[in-house]
Amino acid sequence: MSRDERGISTVVDVSVFLLLVSAAVFSVVTAPADPVGATVTPERDEATVETLATTTTTVGYDLGVDDRTGEPIERVRHGTLAELLAEAAVANASVDGTPTSPYAAGFVDAVRASVTPLFDGRTQVVATWRPLPGSGLVGEVRVGPTPPAGATVHAATLSVDSGMPAARDSALAASSGGYGRVADVAARRTVDGLFPPRRTRVALRGGAADAVVVRERFASMRSTYGSETTFDAGVEPATTDLAVAVAERTERSFERRFETPRAAAESVRTARVTVVVRTWS
């Protein structure tokens, strides 16, 4: 059995093959979000960002109960807080506000529980994965309270590797072919990232828990986007049909939102999760 096959059960439950975030790239931008009110220094935001980027932890969570044994299915993830927030955002993906998988909740709650005690009640952290603007697919995790009205809020933005295949360069290269080509390329990369063909086949042949998670998440997305092909027809036909459905919706949105196909391509963010830290006095 290959290394990928041995490792599949550790990622399938979180987000149907959340790819392990390795060598994550962090970039930080700080800016005042509200110039009125008490003094807030950017150093506090930067310190929070540094904590997220450098602090490592291990989170344990339950996937559910094994129907065969009646015992909880327990999983463990390890990484920096920023990496775990990025994974949680992708895991918590929804389409038009409808979650794509109920199995992400335990992991997301465990990540929140790890981050919350490190900050006071004047800090909010929001991790957002928005791969294709207008596709309806968004992943988000919020930790901490919303800043009160009238407070001076300072914000720092941390960009983290999502673990998904990058699509922006390919989308830019395809932009000469119009909005449809941009949407096709970006949707295909997104679907392949959520359901990598080889790993999906391994999961479907593996344990009952992994197979259920994969099938239910795929069924949720298939239903939302109007794709008709199931895994019974094979992984490649099913994911190809889903990618076409996602692309059709995304193309229509691109045409409404962006003046040119190139501008649409520049909006593609499959490979990045944006973590925004807000602090206030």
Q: Tens of pLDDT along 109-163?
A: 999 999 999 888 899 999 999 999 989 999 999 999 999 988 888 888 889 999 8
pTM of the complete model: 0.81
Tokens of 10: 């550790």
∠ CA(203), CA(205), CA(206), 5° rounding?
Answer: 60
**pLDDT single digits (tens) 27-59:** 444 444 443 333 444 566 678 888 888 888 989
State the pLDDT at residue 65. 64
The Cα 269–Cα 190 span in angstroms is 10
DSSP 27-54: EEEEEES--SSS---HHHHHHHHHHHHH
**pLDDT single digits (tens) 57-91:** 989 887 766 666 667 677 788 899 999 999 999 99
Q: If residue 200 lies in a helix (H) or strand (E), which one and from where to where?
A: helix 197-205
**pLDDT single digits (tens) 217-244:** 899 999 999 999 999 999 999 999 999 9
